[in-house]
Amino acid sequence: MSLARILHRQLQVARVYGIPVRIDYRWFMVFALSTWLIASNFEQGTPLVRYVNVTPSTAWVVGLVTTLGLFLSIFGHELSHALVGRIEGIETEEIVLHPFGGMARLDREPDNARAEFRIAVAGPASSFIFSVVAFGAMMIAAAFEQKLVGAVFFILGFWNLMLAVFNLLPGYPLDGGRVLRAFLWHRNGKLEEATRIASLGGQLIAWTLFVFALLLYFKTGDLFMALWSVVVALFLHSAAVSVGRGNKSLQTVGEAMSAPVSVEPETLVSHFIDLFLPQHPQEAFPVARGRSLHGILTLADVRKLPDAERHRTRVADVMRPVAPELFVTPTTPLTRADALMKQNGAGALAVLNGAGELVGFIQRARLKRRKETK
C-alpha cells in the first residue's frame, strides 16, 4: 500500500453520543508539529511566553498538553454542530479530525434555512465560549502567580478566539459560509443558488489567504507560516470548489455515499435494538469488523426474529451475507446502484474500494430524500 494511500485513511478513536470520531492519519504529523512548535516557544522563551522559564523536558510536556487542548477544542467545535443538528432532527454520520481542523458530516441537508443557520453558528459559538473560559482561567492562574498555567490557557483562549473569528468568514466550507447560505436561502428560497454563492465566497477567501501568504513571506521572511497559509488556502479552495460541484446532479456512488455506520457481527440483536438503533435510526446497516464487510443487516429482517430470541441471537445470524448484489465500488454509476438496491431487497449497498475495504454506504431512501431537498 502506498504512503499517500495510508495517510488518507482514517482511524476511529471514540464514539461520543453514538457518533463515530475518526482521525485522518495525516493528523498525527500536524499533532507532532504543533507539539514541537509550542515546546520550542516555551523552551526558547519567545515573546509569547517570555515570562515563563521551564526546562526542555517540561517544555515538551507543556507542548503536548497544550496541543491536546487545541485539538479537544476543535472536537468540541464539531460536536456542537453535531448536537444542534440532532436537535434539528439530523444525525451526524461521523466527526473527523484532519490536518486543517475538523468536520462533522451530517447525513442530509437541513430542512430549512433556520435549521441551517442554527447548526452553522453552533461551532463558532462554542469556540467563543471556550475562549472566554480559557481567558478566565488564565486570569485566575495569574492571580495565583501560576505563570506556566496562565500561558497555556492564554494560548488556548487565543486559539479558540481565532478559530471562532476565522470560521465566521462568509465562504464555504467555513461556518460563516453556511450562515451566508442560510441567509440567502431564507431570502430567495433557492438552496442551489445560495450554495453556489457561498462556494464562490469560499474560493475568494482562499485566494485572499494565498495573497496574504505571499505578502507574509516577502515582509517577514517567515517561510513556515507562509507555506502553511498556502496549504490552508489550497484546502479551502478545493473544498469550496467541491461544494459547488456537489450542487450539481450526482453521477457516481462515490459522490452520493455516506460514511459507513457499521455493526459488528458478534453484536447481540437485543443490544443492537436497545442501544445502537436509537442513535442511528435507519433501515439498513453494513455489518463489518474493522473495514472488512460481512454482510448487511436490515430492520425488516430483524423484525422477523421473535422477541424471545433477540437476547441470544447475534447480528451475524440475521444479516444478509456478502453477495455481489450487496456491494459496489465508488465509481459505480448511480443508475446501476439504484437498480441493484431495487432488486436486492435490502434497499442499500455497501461501498468497497479496490482493496475490498468498506469505505461507504448508500441507502435508496436517503438518496431519494437528498434529491428532494435540492
> Is there a single domain that holds both residue 224 and residue 266?
no
> Is there a single domain that holds both residue 44 and residue 93?
yes
175-188 vs 191-220: helix axis angle to the nearest 10? 150
Residue 273 pLDDT: 92
**Distance of alpha carbon 238 from alpha carbon 233, whole angstroms:** 9
Does residue 276 lie in a domain region? yes
Tell me the DSSP string of 298-363: EHHHHHTS-GGGTTT-BHHHHSEE--GGGEE-TTSBHHHHHHHHHHSSSSEEEEE-TTS-EEEEEE
> Is there a single domain that holds both residue 258 and residue 240?
no
Tell me the DSSP string of 11-49: EEEEEETTEEEEEETTHHHHHHHHHHHHHHHHHHT-GGG
> Is there a single domain that holds both residue 111 and residue 207?
no
> Is there a single domain that holds both residue 20 and residue 52?
yes
Does residue 196 lie in a domain region? yes
Cα angle 198, 90, 319; round to 5: 125
- In tens, the pLDDT along 121-139 reads 999 999 999 999 999 999 9
> Is there a single domain that holds both residue 244 and residue 264?
no
Cβ 307 vs Cβ 329: under 8 Å = no
Q: Quick one: DSSP state of residue 189?
A: -
Domain boundary among 248, 269, 285: 248
Does residue 174 lie in a domain region? no
> Is there a single domain that holds both residue 210 and residue 342?
no
> Is there a single domain that holds both residue 76 and residue 142?
yes
Phi (first) and psi of residue 2, to 5 degrees: -70, 160
Q: What burial letters (b/e) apply to 317-337, b meaning 16+ CB within 10 Å? A: ebbbebeeebbbebebebeeb
Does residue 285 lie in a domain region? yes
> Is there a single domain that holds both residue 18 and residue 47?
yes
Give the CA distances from residue 33 to residues 28, 39, 228, in Å, rounded to whole numbers and listed in that order. Answer: 9, 10, 12
Does residue 175 lie in a domain region? no
Domain boundary among 219, 248, 277: 248
Domain boundary among 137, 168, 199: 168
> Is there a single domain that holds both residue 216 and residue 281?
no
For the chain, report the end-to-end CA distance as a whole number of angstroms: 38
Does residue 178 lie in a domain region? no
Residue 49 pLDDT: 59
> Is there a single domain that holds both residue 26 and residue 144?
yes
296: enclosing H helix or E strand: strand 292-298
Q: Mean pLDDT by 10-residue block, N- to C-terminus, for the chain (374 residues)? A: 48 87 86 88 67 82 93 95 91 84 81 90 96 96 90 92 92 90 88 86 91 86 75 82 62 82 93 88 91 93 92 94 92 85 91 91 73 42
Residue 360 grid cell: 461507504
> Is there a single domain that holds both residue 220 and residue 111?
no
CATH value at residue 275: 3.10.580.10
Does residue 182 lie in a domain region? no
Beta carbons within 8 Å of 42's beta carbon, 6+ residues apart: 49, 52, 54, 58, 59, 62, 63, 151
Tally the C-alpha atoms within 13 A of residue 258's C-alpha that lie toward its C-beta. 27
Beta bridge partners of 258: 361
User: Other CB atoms closer than 10 Å to residue 15's CB: what's the count?
Assistant: 13
Cα angle 311, 316, 321; round to 5: 150
What is the extent of the structural domain holding 108? 3-168
Does residue 310 lie in a domain region? yes
Query: Per the structure, how many domains does the chain have?
Result: 3
